[in-house]
Amino acid sequence: MSTQIASPVAPDLRALLDSFKQEVMVTLNAHSLGEVVSYDATKATCTVKVKTLRQFNGTYLEYPILTDCPVFQIMGGPTYISVPITAGDPCLILFNDWDIDNWFTTGNTAVPNTPRTHSLSDGLVLVGFRNLAKTPPVTSSDSLLLIHNTANARVTVGATTSMTIGSQQVTLKANGKVSIANSAGDQFRTAMDSLFTALTAWVNTGGSTPNATTVTAINSAKTAFDAIFDT
């Protein structure tokens, strides 16, 4: 006498498609949040760590460290901005549709080196995304800021444009005039005003003073100076 084993209940079509969709999404690499491990300035590439864990057979695992990933730079023609990317910088990793090896080594249009797609081997990195744990200390909603080490060097481009290096600050104001100052104030302006005053009040050892023509020339120079440098 034989025993017949009942077949398991087949899943409905929707459940099957949902399961397949989930499997595809889990294995697809699109973009991931990452962190710079090291940066090679000579090649403009970096080694990065993916900051999200992936699930495998019910266990969460770390991604492997990704190496030799090209880093985005603000660039056009012969002009570009280079910044000192450092370990710990947050970043966004984009996984290219196809193998980038041939493009990366030659820049030419070519057949992909391998048939891989959305692979961890083809990461492109955008540095500059910030999380709440690493927000920029200085920001502006209406000016362009170029900042290095916050307190040491800063260029602000807006209605009033200024450049600060250490304790020295050069400011181009909205009225078109320039101010040069340090922590003690605009000593350059103070020194020049003192010089103009001394020249117009000058008395030589013989007791004579500058003639009217000389005083006029000095005052004209002061007027030209006043048109450039703010009080």
What's the pLDDT tens digit per position in 121-160?
A: 999 999 988 888 888 877 777 777 777 776 667 777 777 7
Q: Where are the domains of the chain?
A: 13-134, 136-185, 187-231
Its pTM stands at 0.68
What pLDDT, on a 0 to 100 scale, did the predictor assign at position 4?
64
Query: What are the C-alpha distances in Å from 76 to residues 44, 70, 139, 145, 175?
Result: 15, 16, 25, 20, 32
What pLDDT, on a 0 to 100 scale, did the predictor assign at position 65?
97
CA gyration radius for the chain? Answer: 33
What pLDDT, on a 0 to 100 scale, did the predictor assign at position 49?
97
What residues pair up with 182 in beta bridges, in sequence order? 185
Give the residue with greater pLDDT, 181 vs 214.
214
d(Cα 94, Cα 77) in Å, to the nearest integer?
A: 23
Own/partner pairs, 182-186, CB within 8 angstroms, 24+ separation: 186/230
Assign 64 a pLDDT band (cuts: 50, 70, 90): very high
Q: Is 103 left (phi over 0), alpha (psi -120 to 50) or beta?
A: alpha
What pLDDT, on a 0 to 100 scale, did the predictor assign at position 6?
63
Q: For 114-124, what is the mean pLDDT?
A: 93
| For residue 51, pLDDT beyond 90 | yes
| Paired tokens of 180 | 């040069």
| For residue 9, pLDDT beyond 80 | no
Burial of 95 (0-12, 13-18, 19+ CB in 10 A): buried
Give the residue with greater pLDDT, 15 vs 50.
50
Q: What is the CATH number of domain 13-134?
A: 2.40.50.230
What pLDDT, on a 0 to 100 scale, did the predictor assign at position 95?
95
